[in-house]
């Protein structure tokens, strides 16, 4: 018999859930939920309205509710939690992994977080209080306390006993970390070795001492880069004294990768980091309006610049026809170069060691593309305005515009990286607006000089 | 003693390698390489010139060379392989995992691939020929043949014996997959269960039959989404008859996620998918020039549009000053909406089930942002041109421009998704150029009507 696995949800399922809730048919609803995985129920929940969501959560056992809650997108999760009572939240938190529990408590208003911590068992609240101080975007903010550590001088059998004891609590256990008498990380043992080695063997004889770890305060992007670079499934976290304090698993790393990409793409798009699943128009508007208004003032500045060349424009009004193409060429070239540089820096494909070489390549590309586009536009403008002189001037301007925009596009992110500023800022509307203005200045400047020379 | 782990490379190391190579100091070079992980050596190799790269590869044992080669960026990898002789490549391929071996052979020119396959042992060449037919961006193209399968009616001890036998060949083994007498996938057993359960227990009694799998022809993006959704470390691949044929591991999934992001970002930036580490200016130019030229003709079209309104512009030349701000507002609004939609669809945060709701939210956002920006620009233009009538007309135009650009920005990716076309196309220069033209048309259209009415 082939296994029937439910993977993902569909429209029919959303309708079914809605109608079960409408009819208060708890029995069918629970049966349906039980057959689904937590991530799929979370998806269903996101398609319900608040009242339906609370009806459903009321039916769930705390453990199931917790598994589902952590899979729900932040904006929806927040609204559900704000409507659940403290008792329900406390019950859910008890069932969560320490990192998820700390994240959930950390997102609550301070008052409410305190109330809930006070009612939790000591064991759970201690874990949460251990994790809460770490900034969300550091190794400490990502790590959980569920891991298995064995002493270097213990045996394979000792290790198996510890695994047995912890197997309920620690999910996704694939490696055991080895510590010395002071709790300091000294090696790693793979679970497969516990299967294959004889029970009497000493852990220190079979462990790999070349364990890759991360310090508790390291930025999450660096943690993700280590995990990607060395193809890890989990990474141990150590404190200042090299003592093992936590574990970060591969699924958290995938979340970090996506989060970092979201941040970069938000900057590219000129959006202050917006939850993709955000449903409130006011919040979305607030994420986008600042950049639009910044762009508006940039555009007004461009208007002032053009104003300086009014005399030339009055002579040949057709010069204004080419504003869009001039700005588009500068803008597109700049965006191409800056985006490739930002992405390359983020993935590590471009690194700080070969910035000079990279810039040189980008300059050659910009020069070559400038020549091609310049000749094309020069020909068109020359024919249109029946002035080959003007055509040549426009061609020459465009070569310069493409060259300079390409250079700026590549140089700004590389320079920001050197200065330890997020290079993705270079792809945002500020640089794009400056590119617009520089392009207009070059175009209008050269044309004006030409018109003065021929008159 | 705290473990000393080398993590990443630095400028000093690059200089050292270069000087060892220059002095032909193989001994120091090998010692340095031996202390590093493959990913770090790969990074070093990327900073060498071709001659230095070949000198280094000549020193390496085939196994080490293979581990390093697969970590090297595609453009550099290709140039090294083209300069290695068939014997060296054959030796390296023997040591690679099946998926990496098939990728490497697949990238060779057909003639050379055939020569190499012919000289390989049957076992290795059969594996490669099994994998070669699958498209690179499908589950089959990602999977390796290194996995452990056990029969449902076997015992834990049988499974341990199989693990022992395969432990050399299969790296990163965390789960065993369970098959029936026809080789069909029926369940999964975690390695931890082999550690904890008694050797006589039947596998079918402890396996989880709810195993998540993927069909061999599924697109890699869907595979990645399954792995992300259910937090998997590896996923079994089955053929049309549900027979287990391969395994995809988490590190390959991270590569897929990054590749899909690169593709989307390339489209956003108007770059035909360019390797971030590409070093050839000609190739980079070829990736970027088509979009620049498309943008150029879009801009020429905009010039024709503006030309139609020459009479209005001659009346008030200052109207041309606002071209940049008008186009920037339309462009920025469109980019914001389309980027958020494209990214949301890619991560699954926006799904096909709530497109209507999403569009409605986007329309409210665009309308609100349009009002704010419209009032601002209207005031500025009104004061600048000393015509409140013109200010009101510009304000009204901008409300429409922002509303329409926002709507198009959100609607096009959602519509493309419905049509099963890559939504990321919506963020490229084509849509941006259309937005420019629509914005200019609205602005010039309204202003022209107004000027006719007041004259």
Q: How far from A222 is each of A76, A214, B251, B263, B387, CA to CA, in Å?
A: 29, 9, 17, 23, 56
Pick from B5, B211, B257: CB nearest A257: B257
Which CATH code, of 3.30.420.40, 3.50.30.30, 1.10.1270.20, 1.25.60.10, is assigned to B11-137?
Answer: 1.25.60.10
pLDDT tens column, A112-149: 999 999 999 888 999 999 999 999 999 999 999 999 99
Q: Scanning every residue of chain B, which has its alpha carbon at the shortest distance from the alpha carbon of A13?
A: B353
The CATH code of the domain at B149-249 is 3.10.580.10
| Interface contact A296-B322, CB threshold 8 A | no
Rounded mean pLDDT of chain A? 91
Residue A4 Cα, gap to closest chain B Cα (Å): 7
pLDDT tops 50 at residue B131? yes
pLDDT at residue number B451: 92
Q: How confident is the model at residue B1 (pLDDT cuts 50, 70, 90)?
A: very low
What top-level class would CATH report for the domain A149-258?
Answer: alpha beta
Q: What is the mean pLDDT of residues B25-54?
A: 92
pLDDT tops 80 at residue A454? yes
Q: What is the mean pLDDT of residues B223-228?
A: 92
B340 contacts on A by Cβ (under 8 Å): 269, 271, 274, 276
| Interface contact A296-B174, CB threshold 8 A | no
Q: How far from B38 is each of A188, A210, B83, B107, CA to CA, in Å?
A: 19, 13, 20, 21
Reported ipTM: the value is 0.85
pLDDT tops 70 at residue B2? no
Q: How confident is the model at residue A354 (pLDDT cuts 50, 70, 90)?
A: confident
Q: Scanning every residue of chain B, which has its alpha carbon at the shortest distance from the alpha carbon of A409?
A: B269
Rounded mean pLDDT of chain B? 91
pLDDT tens column, A375-398: 999 999 999 999 999 999 999 999
A contact residues 345-384, partner B, Cβ 8 Å cutoff: 347, 349-351, 353-354, 357, 361-362, 364-365, 368-369, 372-373, 376-377, 380, 384
Q: Scanning every residue of chain B, which has its alpha carbon at the shortest distance from the alpha carbon of A293?
A: B373
| Interface contact A8-B37, CB threshold 8 A | no
pLDDT tops 70 at residue A111? yes
A contact residues 114-153, partner B, Cβ 8 Å cutoff: none
B contact residues 409-448, partner A, Cβ 8 Å cutoff: 429, 433, 436-437, 440
pLDDT at residue number A333: 92
Pick from A7, A8, A292: CB nearest B333: A292
φ/ψ of residue A278, rounded to 5 = -60, 135
Any A CB within 8 A of B231 CB = yes
pLDDT at residue number B7: 66
Angle, to 10 degrees, between the axis of helix B355-384 and the axis of helix A281-307? Answer: 30
Any B CB within 8 A of A49 CB = no
Q: Given the DSSP bridges, would you call strands A214-215 and A234-238 parallel, antiparallel or unpaired?
A: parallel
Q: How far from B119 is each of B63, B65, B83, B169, CA to CA, in Å?
A: 18, 19, 18, 21
Q: Scanning every residue of chain B, which has its alpha carbon at the shortest distance from the alpha carbon of A9?
A: B353
Q: How confident is the model at residue A3 (pLDDT cuts 50, 70, 90)?
A: very low
DSSP secondary structure, B290-343, as one string = HHHHHHHHHHHHHHHHHHTTHHHHHH-GGGGGGHHHHHHHHHHHHHHHHHHHHH
Q: What is the mean pLDDT of residues B177-199?
A: 95
Any B CB within 8 A of A402 CB = yes
Any A CB within 8 A of B166 CB = no
pLDDT at residue number A4: 41
Q: Scanning every residue of chain A, which has its alpha carbon at the shortest distance from the alpha carbon of B340?
A: A276
Q: Give the span between the Cα atoms of B412 and B64, in whole angstroms.
A: 49
What are the sequence ranges of the domains in chain A?
11-137, 149-258, 281-454
Q: CA nearest A352: which of A425, A416, A428, A405?
A: A416
| Interface contact A318-B307, CB threshold 8 A | yes
| Interface contact B292-A333, CB threshold 8 A | yes
A161 contacts on B by Cβ (under 8 Å): none
Pick from A213, A233, A242: CB nearest B233: A233
Q: How confident is the model at residue B5 (pLDDT cuts 50, 70, 90)?
A: very low
Within 10 angstroms of residue A196's Cβ, the number of other Cβ atoms is 15
Q: Which residue has the tokens 């983020």?
A: A346
Q: Scanning every residue of chain A, which has its alpha carbon at the shortest distance from the alpha carbon of B333?
A: A292
Higher pLDDT, A171 or B441: B441
Strand partners, B179: B151, B185
CB-CB contact of A3 with B187 (8 Å): yes
Pick from A229, A284, A296: CB nearest B376: A296
pLDDT at residue number B8: 75
Residue B377 Cα, gap to closest chain A Cα (Å): 8
Q: Scanning every residue of chain A, which has its alpha carbon at the shortest distance from the alpha carbon of B305?
A: A321
Any B CB within 8 A of A261 CB = yes
Higher pLDDT, B115 or B430: B115
pLDDT at residue number B274: 64
B233 contacts on A by Cβ (under 8 Å): 172, 174, 233, 250
pTM comes to 0.86
- A425's tokens: 């800022």
pLDDT tens column, B377-399: 999 999 999 999 999 999 999 99
Pick from A310, A344, A353: CB nearest B47: A353
| Interface contact B302-A279, CB threshold 8 A | no
Does A281-454 match A11-137 at the fold level? no
Q: CA nearest B250: which of A327, A47, A410, A251?
A: A251
| Interface contact B251-A268, CB threshold 8 A | no
- A37's tokens: 């995985």
What percentage of chain A reaches a pLDDT higher than 70? 98
Any A CB within 8 A of B339 CB = yes
Within 10 angstroms of residue A31's Cβ, the number of other Cβ atoms is 11
B277 contacts on A by Cβ (under 8 Å): 344, 349-350
CATH 1.10.357.20 assigned to B281-454: yes
| Interface contact B339-A271, CB threshold 8 A | yes
């Amino acid at each position: 018999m082939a296994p029937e696995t439910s993977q993902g949800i569909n429209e029919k399922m959303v309708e079914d859930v809605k109608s079960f809730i409408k009819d208060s048919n708890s029995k069918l609803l629970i049966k349906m939920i039980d057959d689904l995985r937590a991530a799929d129920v979370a998806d269903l929940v996101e398609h319900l309205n608040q009242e339906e969501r609370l009806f459903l959560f009321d039916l769930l056992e705390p453990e199931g509710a917790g598994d589902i809650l952590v899979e729900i997108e932040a904006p929806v999760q927040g609204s559900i939690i704000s409507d659940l009572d403290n008792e329900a939240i406390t019950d859910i938190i008890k069932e969560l992994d320490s990192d998820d529990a700390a994240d959930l408590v950390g997102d609550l208003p301070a008052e409410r977080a305190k109330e809930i911590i006070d009612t939790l068992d000591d064991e759970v609240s201690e874990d949460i209080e251990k994790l809460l101080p770490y900034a969300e975007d550091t190794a400490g903010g990502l790590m959980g306390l569920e891991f298995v550590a064995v002493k270097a001088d213990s045996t394979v059998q000792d290790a198996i006993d510890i695994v047995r004891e912890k197997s309920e609590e620690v999910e996704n256990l694939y490696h055991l970390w080895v510590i010395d008498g002071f709790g300091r990380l000294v090696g790693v043992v793979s679970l497969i070795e516990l299967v294959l080695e004889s029970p009497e063997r000493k852990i220190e004889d079979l462990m790999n001492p070349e364990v890759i770890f991360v310090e508790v305060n390291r930025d999450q992007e660096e943690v993700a880069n280590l995990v990607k670079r060395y193809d890890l499934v989990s990474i141990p976290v150590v404190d200042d004294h090299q003592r093992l304090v936590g574990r970060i698993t591969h699924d958290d790393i995938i979340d970090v990768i996506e989060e970092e990409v979201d941040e970069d793409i938000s900057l590219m798009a000129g959006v202050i980091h917006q939850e993709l699943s955000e449903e409130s128009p006011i919040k979305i508007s607030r994420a986008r309006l600042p950049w639009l208004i910044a762009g508006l003032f940039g555009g007004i500045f461009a208007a002032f610049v053009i104003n300086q060349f009014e005399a030339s424009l009055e002579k040949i009004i057709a010069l204004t026809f080419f504003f869009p193409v001039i700005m588009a060429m500068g803008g597109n070239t700049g965006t191409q170069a800056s985006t490739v540089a930002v992405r390359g820096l983020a993935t590590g494909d471009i690194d700080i060691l070969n910035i000079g070489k990279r810039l040189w390549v980008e300059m050659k590309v910009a020069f070559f593309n400038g020549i091609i586009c310049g000749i094309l536009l020069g020909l068109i403008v020359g024919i249109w305005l029946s002035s080959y002189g003007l055509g040549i001037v426009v061609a020459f301007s465009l070569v310069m515009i493409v060259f300079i925009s390409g250079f700026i596009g590549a140089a700004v992110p590389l320079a920001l990286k050197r200065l330890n500023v997020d290079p993705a800022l270079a792809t945002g509307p500020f640089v794009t607006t400056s590119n617009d203005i520089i392009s207009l200045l070059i175009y209008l400047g050269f044309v004006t000089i030409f018109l003065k020379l021929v008159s």
